[in-house]
C-alpha cells in the first residue's frame, strides 16, 4: 500500500498537536504511516496526542490492520534539541557510505504562529518562528539527508490578488521575477504573517533549485473548518481564536455574546465577504496525497492550493451553523476588518489533477462536526476525570 515507505520509517510532523497538524497526523496513521510529532505546546495541549492515538487505533482495529506508531517529542522545532532528536532516528547507511540514513522519510511542517493581528503587534516573533526557524530547520534536515518536505502555506500569500472574483491559481503568486510586468508578489501582502508565508515559499523554492535531491511541496490552505466527525479531535488553541468558525463556536458555547460580522458592503451576493471554506479532514488527506505523489513526481518544487473551489459568504456560514445546531446566532454588524478582502476562492484543478485530491465534506457537515466537538468538550468539562 505504501510503496516507498518501509515499516521502520516515520513521517515527522512539526506542529502536530495543533488544529490542522493533529488531523493530518490522524489521517497519516489511518493510511498506515508511523508518525513522530514535534510540538512545543505554544498553541496546543499534550492531551491531543492521546486523542489522535485513540482515533487511529479505533480506525485500524476496525479495518483489521496494524496500528502505526505515534511518537511525541515536546520541543521547539528550531531549537538545538532538534539535532538530538534527529540523531535518535539516524541509522548507518545501507550502502556502506559515510552518510547516516534517517528513519524519517519525510517531514510535514505545520509549526508556525498564525495570528494576523498578533503578527502586526509582534512581527519579530513571527519572522523568528516562521522564517528564521524554517531556515535553520531545513539546513538541519539536509545535514541528516532528509529531503522530502511538505510546507503549510496559506491563501494569505495571494494578498490583494484575492480581491477579484476570479478563483486564485497557484501561478498568481510569483516568487522570483526579472520581468517588470510580472513582479514578485510580496507587494500586495497585508500583514507580517502573510509575508512570513510568502518568504518561506520563496526560500523553499530557492533551496529546491539549488539541490536536486530536495522534493518540496507547498500546500496553500484556504479556510480550514470543521473537525473529526467523532468530536474527539477539534480546534483547541491556547490563543483567543479570531477565525469565523471558532468565533461562532464561542458564541454557541456562551463564551461570546454575539458574532461581529465585519462588513456588509462588500460587492458580493449578500454584502458579506466570500471565502473558500474547506474541511480540515480534506486538507489532512491532501497531505497524504502529496506524500504519495512524492514517490513518483519529478520536479523538486511544486505548489498546490487546497480549497473547496467554491465560495460562501459570512451570512451563509452563519445560516449553516444555525441549521446544524438548531441555535440562533446573534450577530452585530461592524465595519470591515483592516486587511480583509471581499472574495478569496481557490482554483483547485492542479491538486485535483496532479494529486488526485478532491475535497468531499461540505459546510453543513463541517458545522455538524464542530457542534459535536463543542458538545463533547462541554461534557468533558463537567466530568473532570474524563478530561485528560
- Strand intervals (E) in the chain: 10-14, 34-39, 70-74, 90-91, 101-102, 104-109, 148-154, 215-221, 223-225, 259-262, 274-275, 277-279, 301-306, 312-313, 331-334, 343-344
- 193 flagged as catalytic: yes
Q: What is the nearest approach in angstroms of ligand WQD to the Cβ of residue 355?
A: 20
Closest to 227 measured CA to CA, from 210, 208, 209, 249: 249
By CB under 6 A, the residues from 163 to 202 that bind ligand NAD are none
C-alpha cell at 160: 490583494
Build a one-symbol-per-residue string for 259-278: x at contacts with ligand WQD by CB under 6 A, - elsewhere: xxxx----------x-x---
The CB density around residue 268, as the number of other CB atoms within 10 Å, is: 18
337 binds ligand WQD per the rule CB under 6 A: yes
185 binds ligand WQD per the rule CB under 6 A: no
Tell me which of 19, 193, 198, 277 is the catalytic residue. 193
DSSP-based helix, strand, coil % in the chain, nearest 5: 40, 20, 40
Query: Using CB under 6 A, which of 43, 156, 196, 268 touches ligand WQD?
Result: 156
Cβ neighbours of residue 383 under 8 Å, at least 6 residues apart? none
324 binds ligand NAD per the rule CB under 6 A: no
163 binds ligand WQD per the rule CB under 6 A: no
Q: Three-class SS of residue 260?
A: strand
In the bound state, the residue with its beta carbon closest to ligand NAD is 18
305 binds ligand WQD per the rule CB under 6 A: no
8 Å CB contact between 271 and 264:
yes
8 Å CB contact between 199 and 154:
no
Judged by CB under 6 A, the stretch of 29-37, 53-61, 118-126, 240-248 that binds ligand WQD is: 240-248
Q: What is the nearest approach in angstroms of ligand WQD to the Cβ of residue 321?
A: 12
Q: Which residues of the chain form contacts with ligand NAD (CB under 6 A)?
A: 14-15, 17-21, 38-44, 76-78, 110-112, 114, 129, 133, 152, 154, 221, 224, 237, 243
Please list the active-site residues: 193
**Which chain residues interact with ligand WQD by CB under 6 A?**
114, 116, 154, 156, 223, 242-244, 247, 259-262, 273, 275, 314, 337, 340, 344
Amino acid at each position: 500500500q505504501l510503496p516507498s515507505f518501509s515499516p521502520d520509517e516515520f513521517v515527522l510532523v512539526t506542529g502536530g498537536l495543533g488544529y490542522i497538524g493533529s488531523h493530518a497526523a490522524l489521517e497519516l496513521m489511518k493510511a498506515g504511516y508511523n508518525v513522530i510529532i514535534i510540538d512545543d505546546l505554544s498553541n496546543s495541549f499534550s492531551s491531543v496526542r492521546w486523542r489522535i492515538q485513540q482515533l487511529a487505533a479505533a480506525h485500524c482495529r476496525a479495518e483489521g490492520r496494524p496500528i502505526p506508531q505515534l511518537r511525541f517529542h515536546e520541543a521547539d522545532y528550531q531549537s538545538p534539541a532538534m539535532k538530538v532528536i534527529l540523531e535518535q532516528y539516524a541509522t548507518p547507511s545501507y550502502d556502506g557510505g559515510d552518510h547516516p540514513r534517517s528513519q524519517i522519510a519525510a517531514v510535514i511542517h505545520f509549526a508556525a504562529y498564525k495570528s494576523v493581528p498578533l503578527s502586526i503587534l509582534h512581527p519579530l516573533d513571527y519572522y523568528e518562528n516562521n522564517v528564521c526557524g524554517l531556515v535553520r530547520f531545513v539546513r538541519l534536515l539536509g545535514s541528516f539527508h532528509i529531503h522530502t518536505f511538505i510546507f503549510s502555506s496559506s491563501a494569505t500569500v495571494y494578498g490583494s490578488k484575492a480581491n477579484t472574483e476570479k478563483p486564485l491559481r497557484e501561478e498568481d503568486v510569483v516568487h522570483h521575477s526579472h520581468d517588470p510586468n510580472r513582479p514578485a508578489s510580496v507587494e500586495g501582502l497585508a500583514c507580517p504573517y502573510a509575508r512570513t508565508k510568502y518568504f518561506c515559499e520563496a526560500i523553499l523554492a530557492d533551496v529546491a533549485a539549488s539541490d536536486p535531491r530536495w522534493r518540496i511541496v507547498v500546500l496553500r490552505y484556504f479556510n480550514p473548518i470543521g473537525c473529526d466527525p467523532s468530536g474527539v479531535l477539534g480546534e483547541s488553541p491556547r490563543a483567543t481564536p479570531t477565525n469565523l468558525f471558532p468565533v461562532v463556536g464561542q458564541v454557541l458555547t456562551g463564551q461570546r455574546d454575539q458574532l461581529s460580522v465585519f462588513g456588509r458592503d462588500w460587492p458580493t451576493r449578500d454584502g458579506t465577504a466570500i471565502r473558500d471554506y474547506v474541511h480540515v479532514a480534506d486538507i489532512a488527506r491532501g497531505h497524504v496525497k502529496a506524500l504519495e505523489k512524492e514517490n513518483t513526481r519529478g520536479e523538486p518544487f511544486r505548489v498546490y492550493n487546497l480549497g473547496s473551489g467554491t465560495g460562501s459568504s459570512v451570512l451563509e456560514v452563519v445560516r449553516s451553523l444555525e441549521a446544524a445546531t438548531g441555535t440562533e446566532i446573534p450577530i452585530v454588524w461592524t465595519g470591515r476588518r483592516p486587511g480583509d478582502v471581499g472574495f478569496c476562492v481557490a482554483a483547485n484543478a492542479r491538486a485535483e489533477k496532479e494529486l488526485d485530491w478532491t475535497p468531499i465534506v461540505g459546510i453543513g457537515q463541517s458545522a455538524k462536526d464542530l457542534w459535536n466537538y463543542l458538545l463533547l468538550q462541554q461534557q468533558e468539562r463537567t466530568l473532570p476525570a474524563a478530561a485528560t
